[in-house]
Each structure stands twice: as C-alpha cells, then as structure tokens.
C-alpha cells in the first residue's frame, strides 16, 4: 500500500501514520522527522533547515526532493510507504509524481485528515507544552497554518480534482480515526 497523508499541522498525521505503519507493514516516511534528524545531527542540510523550520516556513523544494530521493532509494520502500508531510505545495506534488513514475510506482490513495481550525490550535498548544518543539510556539503555529492554507490546501484541491483524494474525519479518539482510515483505504481489512 502506498499512501500519502494530508492534513493541517496538528491534524494527527504523524500519530495515525505510526499506527498505519504497523498495520500495513510499510515504512512511515515523515519529512518533518527526516528534517528534524538532520537538524539534530547538525548536518549542513540541518543547519540550513533549522531557522526556516523554527519560524514555520517551508524548507526549499530542492532540499526536500533530494531527501526524498535518498529515502526512496532504500529497499524497504518497495513494499509500500506512508508519506507524511509531503507534498506541501503544488511543485512538490508534481515532483512526487515524477519521482514515483521514475520508480515505476503510483500512490494508491491520498488521505486528508480533516480537523477544524479551533481544534488544531488547541492540539498544537497542548503539544507545545508536552514536546517543546520550537515550531509549536504561537507565532510559528500561526505561520504554519497560514502556509498550510496558502500552499498545501491547493494540493488537496489538485488531488480532489484528479479523483485521487479520500477525505477522513480526523476528530475523535485515536482508535476511531484509525478505523475510519482503514475503512477508507482497505475496507476488507477494517475491524469493527
């Protein structure tokens, strides 16, 4: 199964991807996690990305594509993948199609998790306290939501117009949302 997870920051993509990874037995590729690993390692790429991420902006398409190419060159992605955090703009959506085509692949579904704005802000405030991520500070959250509306929402519209979008209600317990996703992508495997 090749899945692309879409949704605003705080919509639960990372949490659900971790569950789906176990369930589908495919790697979870989170561009946010990949970038944070570079920042933590203090690599040249990490040094470049650090400030951009902390203020809530998008890291350059070029860096992202390079990172993704690297990740997809690993054998484990042949079984499938759950892509989380990419694509975040229309250029990245085109780059993803090209990358997959070059590997002779297509994704099976783009799943959008929907959560209303008020709840997003609440969730991110909670995470800021729990995890202390630099980009969960109020100014950065505001910026990330703005970037999402301006750059990532068009990607969702693009997939919708191409009949590739599956919309899933992201409000409810972890378990309830997980079951909705499974039902939407692989009904034969859903439980309950």
| Residues that constitute the known binding site | 10-15, 31, 36, 57-59, 85-88, 92, 127, 133, 144, 172
**Residue with the CB atom nearest ligand ADP in the bound state:** 32
CB of 176 to ligand ADP, least distance (A): 21
* 19 a catalytic residue: no
Q: Count Cβ atoms below 10 Å from residue 23 Cβ, excluding itself.
A: 15
Tokens 């589908």 sit on residue: 24
Cα within 13 Å of Cα(151), Cβ side: 21
Annotated catalytic residue: which of 133, 142, 160, 189? 133
Q: Count Cβ atoms below 10 Å from residue 151 Cβ, excluding itself.
A: 17
What is the rounded distance in angstroms from the CA atom of residue 146 to the CA atom of residue 9?
Answer: 11
Q: 35 or 82, CB closer to ligand ADP?
A: 35
Q: Count Cβ atoms below 10 Å from residue 55 Cβ, excluding itself.
A: 14
CB of 107 to ligand ADP, least distance (A): 15
Summarize as ranges the residues that interact with ligand ADP (CB under 6 A).
9-10, 31-32, 35, 52-53, 56-59, 64, 85-86, 88, 92, 135, 144
Q: 52 or 190, CB closer to ligand ADP?
A: 52
* 55 a catalytic residue: no
Annotated catalytic residue: which of 50, 123, 144, 180? 144
Q: 53 or 185, CB closer to ligand ADP?
A: 53
* 123 a catalytic residue: no
Annotated catalytic residue: which of 2, 71, 127, 143? 127
Question: What Å distances lie between residue 41 and 32, 34, 36, 47, 135, CA to CA?
Answer: 14, 11, 8, 9, 18
Give binding residues for AMP as ranges. 31, 36, 57-59, 85-88, 92, 133, 144
Q: 18 or 52, CB closer to ligand ADP?
A: 52
CB of 188 to ligand ADP, least distance (A): 30
What is the rounded distance in angstroms from the CA atom of residue 84 to the CA atom of residue 138?
Answer: 23
Instruction: Find the angle CA(48)-CA(15)-CA(93) to the nearest 5 degrees.
Output: 55
Tokens 């202390």 sit on residue: 132
Whether 88 contacts 146, CB under 8 Å: no
Residues annotated catalytic, as ranges: 13, 88, 127, 133, 144
């Amino acid at each position: 199964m090749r899945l692309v997870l879409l949704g605003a920051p705080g919509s639960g993509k990372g949490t659900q991807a971790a569950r789906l990874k176990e369930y589908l037995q495919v790697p979870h590729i989170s561009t946010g996690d990949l970038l944070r690993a570079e920042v933590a390692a203090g690599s040249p790429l990490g040094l470049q990305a650090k400030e951009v991420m902390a203020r809530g902006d998008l890291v350059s398409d070029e860096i992202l594509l390079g990172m993704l190419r690297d990740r997809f060159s690993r054998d484990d992605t042949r079984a499938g993948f759950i892509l989380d955090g990419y694509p975040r703009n229309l250029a990245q959506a085109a780059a993803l199609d090209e990358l997959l085509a070059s590997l002779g692949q297509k994704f099976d579904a783009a799943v959008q998790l929907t959560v209303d704005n008020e709840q997003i802000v609440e969730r991110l405030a909670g995470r800021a306290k729990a995890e202390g991520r630099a980009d969960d500070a109020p100014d950065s959250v505001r910026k990330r939501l703005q970037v999402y509306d301006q750059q990532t929402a068009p990607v969702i519209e693009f997939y919708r117009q191409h009949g590739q979008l599956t919309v899933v209600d992201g409000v409810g317990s972890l378990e309830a949302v997980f079951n909705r996703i499974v039902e939407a992508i692989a009904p034969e495997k859903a439980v309950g």
